[in-house]
């Protein structure tokens, strides 16, 4: 069986006319007859290309303002008949085969996004185009179907290199693209029409899936997909070195990138099990890494580390990957930055399994959180708003001019920590640091205890003098405790006061707000209400 077929007749009918003249000229050079319609026909004729009008094939004129052009027994038969089994019947019916369809449908999406009214949307629902595409795709054994101008170059290359023939494998690839194209097209129309009658629906399309190393656990299989028509987002990770990624790696990478993506200055996040156990922002990349790591050196073992600026050699030397004493080498799973210098990359390659990735965090354009739950789907807006207000209800006031940046840094940290959560942040050496956090707890008091104990532990590690109690008191007094949700009782305030914390940020909104305010006043604690909760589940 001959798997490669020449293109002798082509039907070109496109809304996006990018590259169509160049493609048509290539087809003419290969002795191909070109059939066309409407605006495409005019475009080609203006370029001096001889075109067969579609009406000469169908035997009927274009009608009803262009609603009827290609739909006909002649066109669909020319695309669909089996070139071997049905050849004799096609001859008896005077059906001449069409070997190529180039069509990308009426611009329904473009009209929708530009604010077109209902009547305009209806007129931009293509009927003949999808019919041709599906017919050509079904008969890809003999027919080539093209839906995107980005595929014109490969089509021309195949004709040039194969004496006008198109390979079976290429036709099969284009068949898949065509069915995806019509599926996405109809999906958007269906969602739009649902909305028109007040009915919500959501149809998602993902492609180019590839296998991950494994899922959350080694016995689970996992894949990673790219959203159709997106800029790639996280799928655009550039893999430079190391083992294949797992399901957990992807989740933690996403958490790490989100943790640093909204930071104003040089930032570093150390993420473990989706939580930033270390986070710092400042001016010096190496110092910022050291502060982020110091937030929880134990949890940093096997972590994902993300940077928001070009990663340099001096910074990554902190990991001691080439230290002769293996115990001094810091074990991490992934390092990711928008750009990595050649010297830094060479050094990171010292660890053969360490995954090294480049990703520009500005590509994270997702404004929705979507979760699939056992035959159902949850959709929400992403948590992008830090606060509604900064109310100061206590007698002791937070100095907003002095602490505004630290408050914002703390709120950014709490946005990415699993609830119930508490983060405690401070200024350190001209940088901002997450000194301690409590994550994913069933009650806020436990989260506060965890965050405070982590702070005390970290302060003890960094202090080199002989009066640690005084140092701890001074440092905690300058920290700010951030809560992701309101305090339902004053117990968190009492705990904070017991350990010398003097500043608290929380959303407010509890029926016991006044009781909590009274507890702050009794303990000389300054508290601010933001009006915005930051639960993360």
Shared domain for 434 and 501, answered yes or no, is yes
* CATH code (residue 37): 3.40.50.1380
161 band by pLDDT with thresholds 50, 70 and 90: confident
Copy the structure tokens of residue 269: 């996040």
366 band by pLDDT with thresholds 50, 70 and 90: confident
Q: Which of these three, 333, 363, 393, is where a domain ends?
A: 363
CA atoms within 13 A on the CB side of 56: 10
Q: Does residue 236 fall inside a structural domain?
A: yes
**Among 138, 207, 241, 310, which one carries the catalytic annotation?**
138
* CATH code (residue 354): 3.40.140.20
Shared domain for 49 and 177, answered yes or no, is yes
Shared domain for 293 and 388, answered yes or no, is no
pLDDT of the residue at 232:
62
Shared domain for 424 and 461, answered yes or no, is yes
Which residues are CB-neighbours of 130 under 8 A, at least 6 positions away?
105, 182, 185, 186
Q: Based on the residue annotation, tell me whether 273 is a catalytic residue of this protein.
A: yes
Q: Does residue 505 fall inside a structural domain?
A: yes
pLDDT tens for 475-519 read 999 999 999 999 999 999 999 999 999 999 999 999 999 999 999
Which residues are CB-neighbours of 521 under 8 A, at least 6 positions away?
394, 395, 396
Q: Determine the structural domain holding residue 124 and report its residue range.
A: 5-196
Shared domain for 333 and 411, answered yes or no, is no
Q: Can you say whether the dihedral through the CA atoms of 471, 473, 477, 480 is positive or negative?
A: positive
Q: Does residue 316 fall inside a structural domain?
A: yes
Q: Does residue 115 fall inside a structural domain?
A: yes
Q: Is beta strand 355-358 parallel, antiparallel or unpaired with respect to 332-337?
A: parallel
Q: Is a pLDDT exceeding 60 seen at residue 20?
A: yes
Among the residue ranges 5-9, 153-157, 267-271, 509-513, the one predicted with the least confidence is 5-9
**Across residues 2-28, what is the average pLDDT?**
88
Q: Is residue 231 packed enough to be buried (19+ CB in 10 Å), middle (13-18) or exposed (0-12)?
A: exposed
Shared domain for 165 and 20, answered yes or no, is yes
Q: Is a pLDDT exceeding 60 seen at residue 102?
A: yes
Q: Based on the residue annotation, tell me whether 537 is a catalytic residue of this protein.
A: no
Shared domain for 406 and 512, answered yes or no, is yes
pTM: 0.84
Q: Does residue 456 fall inside a structural domain?
A: yes
DSSP codes joined into one string, 325-355: SGGGSPPEEEEEES-B-HHHHHHHTTSTT-E
Q: Are 126 and 108 contacting, i.e. CB atoms less than 8 angstroms apart? A: yes
5 band by pLDDT with thresholds 50, 70 and 90: confident
Q: Which of these three, 308, 331, 363, is where a domain ends?
A: 363
pLDDT tens for 39-89 read 899 999 999 999 999 889 888 888 888 888 888 999 999 999 998 899 999
Shared domain for 26 and 166, answered yes or no, is yes
What is the tally of helices (H) and strands (E) in the chain?
A: 19, 22
Shared domain for 401 and 509, answered yes or no, is yes
Rounded Cα gap, residues 333 and 244, in angstroms: 11
pLDDT of the residue at 228:
79
**Across residues 321-330, what is the average pLDDT?**
91
pLDDT tens for 452-470 read 999 999 999 999 988 999 9
Shared domain for 113 and 149, answered yes or no, is yes
Copy the structure tokens of residue 45: 């004729």
Query: Chain centroid to CA 236: how far?
Result: 8
Shared domain for 350 and 496, answered yes or no, is no
Q: Is a pLDDT exceeding 80 seen at residue 154?
A: yes
Of 101 and 205, the one with more pLDDT? 101
3-state secondary structure of 422: strand
Shared domain for 261 and 397, answered yes or no, is no
Q: Are 471 and 459 contacting, i.e. CB atoms less than 8 angstroms apart? A: yes
pLDDT tens for 391-412 read 999 999 999 999 999 999 999 9
Of 283 and 233, the one with more pLDDT? 283
**Across residues 185-201, what is the average pLDDT?**
93
Q: Is a pLDDT exceeding 80 seen at residue 3?
A: no
**Among 17, 273, 449, 473, which one carries the catalytic annotation?**
273
What is the total count of domains within the chain?
Answer: 3
Q: Does residue 372 fall inside a structural domain?
A: no
Mean pLDDT for all residues in the chain: 92
1 band by pLDDT with thresholds 50, 70 and 90: very low
Rounded Cα gap, residues 140 and 134, in angstroms: 10
Q: Does residue 143 fall inside a structural domain?
A: yes
pLDDT of the residue at 236:
86
pLDDT tens for 119-131 read 999 999 999 999 9
438 band by pLDDT with thresholds 50, 70 and 90: very high
pLDDT of the residue at 2:
54
Q: Does residue 448 fall inside a structural domain?
A: yes
């Amino acid at each position: 069986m001959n798997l490669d077929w020449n293109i002798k007749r082509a039907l070109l009918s496109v809304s996006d006319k990018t590259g169509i003249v160049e493609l048509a000229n290539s087809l003419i050079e290969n002795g191909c007859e070109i059939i066309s319609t409407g605006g495409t026909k005019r475009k080609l004729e203006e370029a001096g290309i001889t075109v067969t009008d579609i009406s000469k094939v169908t035997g009927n004129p274009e009608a009803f303002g262009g609603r009827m052009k290609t739909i006909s027994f002649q066109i669909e038969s020319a695309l669909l008949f089996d070139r071997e089994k049905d050849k004799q019947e096609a001859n008896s019916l005077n059906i001449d085969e069409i070997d190529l369809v180039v069509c990308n449908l009426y611009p329904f999406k473009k009209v929708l996004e530009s604010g077109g009214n209902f009547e305009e949307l209806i007129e931009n629902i293509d009927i003949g185009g999808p019919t041709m595409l599906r017919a050509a795709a079904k008969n890809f054994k003999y027919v080539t179907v093209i839906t995107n101008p980005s595929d014109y170059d490969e089509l021309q290359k195949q004709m040039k290199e194969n004496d006008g023939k198109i390979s079976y494998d290429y036709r099969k690839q284009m068949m898949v693209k065509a069915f995806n194209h019509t599926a996405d097209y109809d999906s958007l129309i269906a969602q739009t029409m649902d909305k028109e009658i007040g009915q919500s629906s959501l149809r998602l399309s993902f492609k180019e899936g590839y296998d991950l190393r494994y899922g959350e656990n080694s016995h689970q299989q996992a894949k990673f997909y790219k959203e159709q028509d997106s800029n790639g987002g996280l799928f655009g990770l550039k893999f430079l070195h190391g083992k294949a990624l797992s399901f957990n790696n992807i989740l933690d990478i996403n958490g790490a990138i989100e943790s640093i993506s909204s930071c104003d200055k040089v930032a570093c996040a150390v993420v473990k099990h989706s939580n930033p156990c270390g986070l710092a922002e400042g001016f010096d990349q190496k110092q910022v890494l050291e502060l982020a790591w110091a937030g929880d050196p134990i949890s940093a073992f096997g972590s994902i580390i993300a940077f928001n600026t070009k990663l340099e050699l001096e910074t990554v030397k902190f990991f001691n990957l080439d230290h002769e004493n293996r115990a001094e080498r810091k074990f991490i799973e992934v390092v990711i930055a928008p750009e990595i210098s050649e010297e830094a990359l060479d050094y990171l390659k010292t660890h053969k399994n360490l995954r090294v990735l480049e990703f520009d965090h500005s590509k994270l354009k997702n404004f929705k959180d979507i979760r699939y739950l056992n035959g159902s789907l949850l959709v929400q807006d992403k948590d992008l708003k830090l606060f509604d207000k900064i109310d100061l209800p206590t007698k002791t006031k937070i100095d907003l001019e002095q602490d505004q940046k630290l408050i914002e840094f703390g709120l950014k940290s709490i946005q990415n920590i699993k609830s119930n959560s508490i983060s405690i942040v401070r200024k350190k050496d001209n940088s901002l640091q997450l000194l301690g956090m409590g994550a994913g707890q069933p009650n806020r008091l436990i989260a506060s205890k965890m965050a405070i104990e982590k702070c005390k532990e970290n302060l003890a590690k960094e202090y080199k003098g002989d009066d640690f109690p005084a140092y701890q008191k001074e440092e905690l007094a300058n920290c700010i405790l951030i809560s992701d949700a309101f305090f339902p009782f004053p117990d968190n305030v009492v705990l904070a006061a017991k350990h010398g914390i003097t500043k608290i940020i929380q959303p407010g909104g509890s029926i016991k707000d006044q009781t909590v305010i009274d507890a702050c006043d009794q303990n000389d604690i300054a508290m601010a209400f933001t009006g915005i909760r930051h639960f993360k589940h």
